[in-house]
Amino acid sequence: MNTFATLLVAAGLLVLCGSLIPLTKTSHYETGQRLGWRFVYALNWAFILGYLYFLAYLWGADANLIDLVLAIILFGGGVFVYLVSQMSVASLECIQKSASAYEKQSLHDVLTGLPNRKQLFYVLAGTLAARGREDDVFSVMVMDLNGFKEINDTLGHHAGDKALQMVAPRLQQQLRSSDTLCRMGGDEFAVVLPKTGSDQALLVAQKMLKALEPSFKIEEKELVMGISIGIACCPEHSEEVDALIQFADIAMYQAKRNKTGVEIYIEANDSHSVEKLSAPHRLQKMITNEQLELKYQPISDHNEISGMEVFVCWPKIDGEEMTSGYCMSLVEYMGLGEKVNHFILKKALAQYSQWQTKFDFKLHLNLMVESALSREFFRFLEQELKLYEIKPSSVTLEMPEPALRKSLTIIGEALKNLAALGVSLSIKNFGGHGAALLLIRDNPLKELKLDALFSRDLETDVSNQAIIQAAQAFCNRLGIFMVVEGVDTEAAVATLKGMGIHRYQGNAYCPALKIDEVRLFLENLN
């Protein structure tokens, strides 16, 4: 009995000692419980001393039944501690991997795998802080693809996504390991070039231009995409992160306007400030003279039109076509959002008043969000609805999810006021930015428009199918409609219908239309 008891305690001691290895790992993890794990580690050593004391006791004594029971308990305790320590390490490693994956996802673009805009500012801040001497330099490049909008309009967003995925590696191959290529959003990229002056950055830009000269094969079509590049240098142009990005962006637009491919920021050529000063007058004149054009895109429900989304088709500025994002930023910057919203509202409601007598569909308005949430806009909307004798329930205001992140309290109050008027509310681009769940919970929304991100390669992407089905079940539970955006292929339509989903919007049903094209489209419905 003495021998058996000794062997049990010795085995338990060995197992207990084995638990020190995983416990050593846990005591060094960067967690909020590091002190607790260190206490457990110290306690384990106390247990080991206790086991050694009991072994010494058994060595010189005749073991009885109680000693045997204690030996069995100590053996089981050693095994228990070992198993718990191993499972703790496994759990912590899993948590840390998940945390690392989440952090990486938050700092990287899902589509291209490149660092995103958030990471870009981290890199710039770090590069700026790492400047050891006043003569240390680094450069920033902002790049925008030429002709990308045409790819999206003609081939669909899925083709645009493939184009971005093909462009990114070509650009990356022209850079050093110390350089950082980021996707800022849309078709815009940025590069941070440490220890690189403007002349060297110009050479890198020339390499990138050359790298994009060979055509891309997308949707069995050979496409050529150029790029416009702007360069700003620290400290030559600025020693502030925001200013460097802004100056590189200005130089990029200069390159786009001049069709030179690449430009280095020159303050004397900075027409951006002049443009901002003159833009209010010009935009106001455009709005007054009805020079802004609206486009409409039908929304399908069981192959029938359920709504018509209306948005601004921005005109050329100084003879150059500007991106929607740039024009909207300029409008908000100059405080012209209210004027633009009034223009959209008056023109769209006037047109809809003619359609509503013949056709049964809702009007979906895409407006400048910040201005649309004001009390002044609320009163103007109510006035215009009465003027054109349009039921508020026939109008849906679409709010892009990214714009809803600024102030949930203010937005929530505004949405409740609009809903009280009888206007339907829709969150556009839902799911792509993770900002709308609190609004859905606390506000009377009627519709969610699922971001086009989830309709990519829908016929083959099982994950996107599962997400769309889950979103549909979510909407059904809340009693709101769901529309899938960016549905550009018949295969995607067939997949949606196979899942029992019939409300969608995209080129597969109908592309965005000018007003004359809308009239023809509606006439063909009869």
Q: Is the pLDDT of residue 9 over 80?
A: no
CA–CA separation, 457 and 158 (whole Å): 7
Token pair for residue 149? 């909008």
Q: Tell me if 272 sits within 8 A of 250, measured CB to CB.
A: yes
Scan for tokens 């501690």, then name that residue: 81
100: confidence class by pLDDT, cuts 50, 70, 90: low
Averaged pLDDT of the chain: 79
Residue 25, pLDDT score: 64
Distances (CA, A) of 56 to 2, 60, 65, 371, 493: 12, 7, 17, 82, 78
The count of residues in the chain is 526
Whole-number pLDDT of residue 15: 78
Cβ-Cβ contacts under 8 Å for 16 (sequence gap 6 or more)? 44, 47, 48, 51, 77, 78, 81, 82
Q: What percent of the chain has pLDDT over 90?
A: 21
pLDDT digits (tens, 9 = 90+) for 155-200: 778 888 898 999 999 999 999 999 999 998 888 999 999 999 988 9
Decide: helix, strand or coil at residue 101. helix
- Which of 326, 144, 143, 129 minimizes the C-alpha distance to 240? 129
SS3 of 130-199: the string is: CCCCCCCCEEEEEEEEECHHHHHHHHCHHHHHHHHHHHHHHHHCCCCCCCEEEEEECCEEEEEEECCCHH
Residue 276 pLDDT more than 50?
Answer: no
In this prediction, residues 412-438 reach a mean pLDDT of 70
Higher pLDDT, 172 or 267: 172
- Residue 55 banded pLDDT, cuts 50, 70, 90: confident
Query: Could you give the 3-state DSSP secondary structure of residue 406?
Result: coil
- Residue 194: what pLDDT? 92
Tokens of 370: 């910040």
